[in-house]
């Protein structure tokens, strides 16, 4: 259909999670590289989700003592307590999840 109508294709909201089991990170990076190869070969435009969470899906690692992370520390703690990142099932379940269930 894309070729028939000569329209571009865009793949968004994909990527690799980097705060899982440390031994899995090389595999996750290889999988991401394979995805990008497929997209490039198909001529697809793409955008990863790295903009969302520092230390989770971002390509950049920040010093835990940096000013930015210090400023958002309260927010990050609240997110953890309130289980707002519920999609990260590999993390220990916070108390709130049990209360909600």
Please give the Cα distance from 74 to 8 (Å, whole number): 42
Given a cut of 90, whether residue 22 has pLDDT beyond it is: no
Task: Tell which wins on pLDDT, 80 or 73.
Answer: 73
Instruction: State the Cα angle at 21 between 29 and 61, rounded to 5°.
Output: 60
Give the pLDDT score at 87.
67
Coil, helix or strand for 31? helix
45 pairs with which residues across the strands? 10
Map tokens 């497929």 to a residue.
38
Given a cut of 60, whether residue 17 has pLDDT beyond it is: yes
First CA to last CA across the chain, in angstroms? Answer: 44
Given a cut of 70, whether residue 28 has pLDDT beyond it is: yes
pTM: 0.58
Give the pLDDT score at 78.
87
């Amino acid at each position: 259909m894309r070729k028939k109508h000569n329209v571009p294709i865009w793949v968004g909201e994909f990527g690799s999670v980097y705060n899982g089991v440390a031994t899995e990170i090389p595999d996750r990076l290889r999988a991401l590289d394979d995805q990008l190869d497929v997209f490039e070969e198909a001529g697809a435009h793409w955008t990863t989700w790295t903009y969302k969470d520092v230390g989770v899906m971002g390509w950049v690692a920040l010093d835990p003592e940096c000013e930015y992370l210090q400023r958002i520390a309260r927010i990050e703690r609240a997110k953890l307590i309130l289980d707002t990142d519920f999609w990260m099932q590999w993390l220990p379940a916070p108390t709130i999840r049990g209360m909600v269930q």
